[in-house]
Amino acid sequence: MSLSRRDLVGSLTAAAAATLAGAAQAGDKKQGTSPLPAGGAAPAAPAAPSATGPFTLAPLPYADTDLAPAISQNTLAFHYGKHHQGYATKLNELVAGKEWADKSLEAVMKGTYGTDKLPLYNNSAQVWNHTFYWQSMKKGGGGAPGPGKLADAIKASFGDGDALKKELTQAAVGNFGSGWAWLVQEADGKLKVLKTPNADNPVVLGSGRPLLTIDVWEHAYYLDYQNKRAEYVAAWLDKLVNWSWAESQMA
């Protein structure tokens, strides 16, 4: 994976803090509090984020309204501000005072996979997976990849783009329970579709370079589609899939 640790879990910038604050307020208006002091004067700068640990989320690569109507602002605000942030918060609690606090996110998830440190594994992998999922979508996505090495690899591996979408749909819709569907590139350059349960991803499984992922946990779509996962997956592929991100992740 070619994202650096800085990209994945960089320092929480003012912009990220603002994004998080906005997401949290959109997600739970009851807890929204005015940042203004009693006197009414605007603060000179956003409040510094509370230091909660080494793992902080990069900001979403788009506004939380940008993926609507395929994914509503409500879903995106909850998914990023509550679910993704929740995994990071829990991870920080788990690493506090331990050697893991000095390791990269990828090192934590690889080092705890298949061990008895299941909470550490689950939360670190879920932080990683969601960061990759946000990048796998974009405003005005969908359609077909433009000419280039991704389009060539899709043709060589699946025959055509419709065959790839059919496989991705089967993996996403057919993944029983919570998990993820992935497009990966194997060592020989060929592309493959796979599905993983819960927090598992191709990085820890050693099953290829991730190019795209679709989150099929119910929290990714239930507010918009209820139980109709197939409609969410169809909209994801038609309106959101970010082919240029996938191509950027190829070897």
Which residues of this protein are in contact with Mn ion, per CB under 5 A? 215, 217, 220
Residue sitting closest to Mn ion (CB):
215
Q: Which is nearer to Mn ion, 113 or 217 (CB)?
A: 217
Residue 73 makes CB contacts below 8 A (sequence gap 6+) with 26, 64, 65
- Closest separation between CB of residue 172 and Mn ion, Å? 13
> In this structure, what token pair is assigned to residue 87?
């995994």
Q: Cα separation of 31 and 33, whole Å?
A: 6
Question: Residue 70 or 154: which CB sits closer to Mn ion?
Answer: 70
91 vs 191 by CB, closer to Mn ion = 91
Cα separation, 131 vs 109, whole angstroms: 14
98: phi > 0 → left, psi -120 to 50 → alpha, else beta; which? beta
Q: How far is the CB of 55 from Mn ion (least distance, A)?
A: 16
CA distance 44 to 56: 24
What SS3 class is residue 213?
strand
Smallest distance, Å, CB 118 to Mn ion?
A: 18
CB of 219 to Mn ion, least distance (A): 5
In this structure, what token pair is assigned to residue 130? 């969601």
168 vs 191 by CB, closer to Mn ion: 168
Nearer to Mn ion, 122 or 185 (CB): 122
Q: What is the DSSP letter of 220?
A: G
CB of 130 to Mn ion, least distance (A): 6
